[in-house]
Structure formats: C-alpha cells, structure tokens
C-alpha cells in the first residue's frame, strides 16, 4: 500500500508539495484536560499550518477510557478508509504517542504518523535562528528519536536473542543507537560551549543593571510586541506561533531612575513536550533568575483563560509559582470593555494587573510604573547580587 501511495504522490508532484494531513484527537471521559477537544485541534491545525501541512479534515472521539491504539476499533477502521480514499500523506495525533502506538498506527494506516510532540519540534526547528536555538531543538529531536529508533527494531529484540536475532538486524539496532548516542554527545558538547559564551555575556550585562525582569506567556500573546514597546528591542513580532525561540535581553529604564533588564523569550503551549522543556532548560532557567515575571495574556483569544492556566501550570512545574508577577492583559484594542476585562481577571489574588495594547501603545506607561513599584519593593535576587559584587 505504501508504495502505491508514494508512487501516486510522485506522479502528482507539481511544484512544492504540501503534505495532505488529517488531524486526530481522542479524549478519555475520565481525563482531566480543561481544553475542549475541538479547541485543542484548532491549535493543532495552527501548528500543522506552521509546519506547512495542508489540513484536510479532522477525526475526534470521546472514549470511555484511553485506548492502546489511541482510537477505538471502529473509528480506526473509518480513519484507515478515509486516508486511502482521500490520498492523505500524514496523520497527525493530538497527543504524544508511545513508540509502539506510533508503529502500530503507521502499519495500520499505511502513511506517515506523527504526534503533537513531533509537530511542535518541527515548528521549533523551522524557527530556530541562532546556533543555541538550533542545537537545543536538535537535542530535543534526537532525544525524541532515540526510543522510537529502538521501537523500529523491537520486533527483533522481543525475540530475546537466539535464532533470528543475530546478523544484520541486531547489528543495525546497535549501529543506529551508537550513531544517535554519538550525535547526542556531540550536540551536548556544542551546546555547553555556546552556553558558556552566553553566560559570560550575561554576567557582563548583569553587573551593569539592578533588577532582572522577564516576559512569560503563551505563544503569540504579544510578548515581543510588549518588549519592543518597553525597550525598543527590535525583536520580530509576528502573527505566528513560536516566532521567538531565543532570549533577547535589554536594559529597561524605569520612571524612578532605577534600571532593570528585561528579557523576551520562548512562549509556552498546551501540552508543551517535556523533551522540549528539558532541552530549553538553559533558556528557561533564566526565568528562575528573574526578580519579576511579566505574564502577557492575549485577552482577545477565546482560549485566553486556558492559555493563562497553561502558563501558570508550566511555571509551577518549573518551581516558579512564587515569583512576583504582573499580569499584562494585552490586545485590549481587540476587545470591548476594559473594566469588565479587569474584573474577570482580577479574581487572581495578589497579582497586579495592567491592561495594554502593545499594538496601539496603550498601558505601556502604567506597565513601566508597575514594574518600577514591584522591583523597588523586592531585594535583588541572590544570584544577581553575586554577579554585581
């Protein structure tokens, strides 16, 4: 079946071929995800678009409990027929699949199967510009690949050695793993080198400023736009997911005459793959050095509350829930009624709120004042104090 499809693809290939993709999402009824299945798939469609796939449709299912094949039997049969009838190239699943699930589904469907994690990794890889960004994403992709590589050969391994497992099969497993491990080692060494250069630059910068503030938020919330307003940072701000992967830091001048640094960095997303969090550890660690976090929310997004929750949960996972924070309710120009917006979001205890439109420049002065007040209250972080002394 595979050969027929690829032949058909090759014959129809005129100009750049966009992969024709179907999106698949399933949810167990007892699951704890706050996101509606459709909303999660809307976002998956955006990610697929960012990876230049052409989304031809979606398949969803609510299951009584998680299925080993992701979908129930009947739904999977339907999907298989649809893939064949519509000449689909790729099926994209809304959750991370286990290596075994992925292999089983690929055999069943006869086309490429990718999961949400692989898709996000692909988008990151397309966006990475700096050497560090490229190495971080390469590290994540290789870590993701390693267990899946083993999966490809596990039918041989399961036989537990002996007849039929010697020879080219076993050699291949070992060779592949050795190559991939070697590559992992090389990437890690290169990353260490790039990072130590950056750390020394950061040390120099830190010694000139008093406080560290950092923007955080869901991808596309307007962090870079706010950054550019506050510090004329010149960071690209585009209507796409994950425009920013690398951290940019600038000096921030405050009304009291105090100065701080402000950093713009990578955004968060629903079901952010752990492998990415791990490989972006150094970038994200900068957040733990911050004295103050500015959490930017796109209030015009209908999933704004869920997105803010993802950011809160991710920060909690990084042990940063107690960091002083300002909630920056951005894109106010796109919604009617500032007071109502403030009321809706004001239920969060002890968090200062500032309403902004980075596009129009509204609220930026108030934000600068709020930052000034917050950082003046707080003693300099110990890490930072060490860098200054």
Binding site for Mg ion (CB under 5 A): 223-224, 243-244
**Interface ranges with ligand GTP (CB under 6 A):** 217, 219-225, 237-239, 241-244, 267, 330-331, 333-334, 357-359
Q: Distance between CA atoms of 253 and 255, rounded to whole angstroms? A: 7
Least distance in Å: CB of 23 to ligand GTP? Answer: 21
Least distance in Å: CB of 357 to ligand GTP? Answer: 4
Distances in Å between the alpha carbon of 293 and those of 184, 320, 351? 33, 10, 11
Least distance in Å: CB of 316 to Mg ion? Answer: 22
Helix (H, G, I), strand (E, B) or coil at 267: coil
Compare residues 253 and 362 and give the one whose CB is closer to ligand GTP: 362
Least distance in Å: CB of 241 to Mg ion? Answer: 10
Least distance in Å: CB of 244 to Mg ion? Answer: 3
Least distance in Å: CB of 206 to ligand GTP? Answer: 23
Compare residues 79 and 296 and give the one whose CB is closer to Mg ion: 296
Contacts with 195 (C-beta within 8 Å, 6 or more apart), sequence order: 132, 282
Helix (H, G, I), strand (E, B) or coil at 27: strand
Q: Choose the contact partner of 334 out of Mg ion, ligand GTP, none; CB within 5 to 8 A by kind.
A: ligand GTP
Compare residues 191 and 226 and give the one whose CB is closer to ligand GTP: 226
Q: Choose the contact partner of 179 out of ligand GTP, Mg ion, none; CB within 5 to 8 A by kind.
A: none
Compare residues 117 and 244 and give the one whose CB is closer to ligand GTP: 244
205 exposure class (CB count in 10 Å sphere: 0-12, 13-18, 19+): middle
Q: Choose the contact partner of 220 out of ligand GTP, Mg ion, none; CB within 5 to 8 A by kind.
A: ligand GTP
* CA quadruple 280, 283, 289, 291: dihedral, nearest 10: -110
Least distance in Å: CB of 264 to Mg ion? Answer: 6
Q: Choose the contact partner of 221 out of ligand GTP, Mg ion, none; CB within 5 to 8 A by kind.
A: ligand GTP
User: What are the CB-based long-range contacts (under 8 Å, 24+) for 65-74?
Assistant: 65/28, 65/29, 65/30, 66/26, 66/28, 66/31, 67/26, 68/101, 69/101, 69/104, 69/105, 69/108, 70/24, 70/26, 70/95, 70/97, 70/101, 70/105, 71/24, 71/26
Compare residues 14 and 232 and give the one whose CB is closer to Mg ion: 232
Q: Distance between CA atoms of 42 and 303, rounded to whole angstroms? A: 11
Residue nearest to Mg ion (CB): 244
Q: Choose the contact partner of 359 out of Mg ion, ligand GTP, none; CB within 5 to 8 A by kind.
A: ligand GTP
Helix (H, G, I), strand (E, B) or coil at 224: helix
Compare residues 152 and 243 and give the one whose CB is closer to ligand GTP: 243
Q: Choose the contact partner of 357 out of ligand GTP, Mg ion, none; CB within 5 to 8 A by kind.
A: ligand GTP
Q: Choose the contact partner of 242 out of ligand GTP, Mg ion, none; CB within 5 to 8 A by kind.
A: ligand GTP
Compare residues 243 and 381 and give the one whose CB is closer to Mg ion: 243
Half-sphere exposure of 119 (CA within 13 A, CB side): 35
What are φ and ψ of residue 57, in 5° steps?
Answer: 165, 180
User: What are the CB-based long-range contacts (under 8 Å, 24+) for 368-372?
Assistant: 368/230, 368/252, 368/254, 368/255, 369/255, 370/326, 371/213, 371/252, 371/254, 371/260, 371/292, 371/294, 371/326, 372/254, 372/255, 372/256, 372/258
User: 357 near 363, Cβ under 8 Å?
Assistant: yes
Least distance in Å: CB of 194 to ligand GTP? Answer: 21
Helix (H, G, I), strand (E, B) or coil at 347: coil
Determine which helix (DSSP H) or strand (DSSP E) holds 264, and give its type and residue range.
Answer: strand 259-264
Compare residues 70 and 124 and give the one whose CB is closer to ligand GTP: 124
Q: Choose the contact partner of 281 out of Mg ion, ligand GTP, none; CB within 5 to 8 A by kind.
A: none
Q: Choose the contact partner of 217 out of Mg ion, ligand GTP, none; CB within 5 to 8 A by kind.
A: ligand GTP
Least distance in Å: CB of 128 to Mg ion? Answer: 14
Least distance in Å: CB of 268 to ligand GTP? Answer: 8
Compare residues 26 and 137 and give the one whose CB is closer to ligand GTP: 137
Compare residues 59 and 241 and give the one whose CB is closer to ligand GTP: 241
């Amino acid at each position: 079946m595979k050969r027929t499809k690829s032949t058909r693809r090759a014959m129809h290939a005129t100009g750049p071929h966009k992969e024709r993709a179907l999106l698949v999402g399933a949810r167990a009824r007892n699951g704890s995800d706050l996101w509606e299945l459709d909303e999660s798939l809307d976002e998956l469609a955006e990610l697929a678009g960012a990876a230049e796939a052409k989304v031809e449709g979606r398949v969803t299912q609510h299951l009584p409990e998680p299925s080993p094949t992701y979908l129930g039997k009947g739904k999977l049969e339907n999907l298989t027929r649809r893939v064949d009838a519509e000449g689909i190239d790729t099926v994209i699943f809304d959750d991370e699949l286990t290596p075994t699930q992925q292999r089983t589904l690929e055999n069943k469907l006869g086309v490429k199967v990718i999961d949400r994690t692989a898709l996000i990794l692909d988008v990151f890889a397309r966006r990475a510009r700096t050497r560090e960004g490229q190495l971080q994403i390469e590290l994540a992709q290789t870590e993701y690949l390693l267990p899946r590589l083993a999966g490809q050969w596990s039918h041989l391994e399961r036989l537990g050695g002996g007849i039929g497992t010697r020879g080219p099969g076993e050699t291949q497993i070992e060779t592949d793993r050795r190559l991939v491990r070697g590559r992992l080692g090389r990437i890690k060494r290169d990353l260490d080198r790039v990072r130590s250069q950056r750390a020394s630059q950061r040390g120099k910068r830190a010694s000139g400023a008093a406080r560290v503030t950092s923007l955080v938020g869901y991808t596309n919330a307007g962090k870079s736009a706010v950054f550019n307003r506050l510090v004329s940072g010149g960071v690209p701000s585009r209507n796409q997911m994950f425009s920013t992967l690398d951290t940019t830091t600038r000096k921030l001048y405050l009304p009291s005459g105090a100065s701080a640094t402000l950093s713009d960095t990578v955004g968060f997303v629903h079901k952010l793959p752990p492998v990415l969090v791990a490989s972006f550890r150094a970038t994200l660690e900068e957040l733990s050095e911050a004295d103050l976090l500015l959490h930017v929310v796109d209030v015009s997004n209908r999933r704004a509350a869920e997105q803010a929750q993802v950011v809160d949960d991710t920060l909690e996972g990084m042990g940063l829930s107690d960091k002083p924070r300002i909630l920056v309710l951005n894109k106010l120009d796109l919604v009617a009624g500032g007071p109502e917006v403030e009321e809706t979001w004001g239920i969060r205890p002890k968090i200062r709120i500032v309403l902004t439109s980075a596009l129009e420049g509204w609220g930026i002065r108030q934000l600068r004042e709020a930052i000034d007040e917050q950082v003046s209250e707080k003693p300099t972080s110990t890490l930072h104090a060490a860098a200054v002394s």
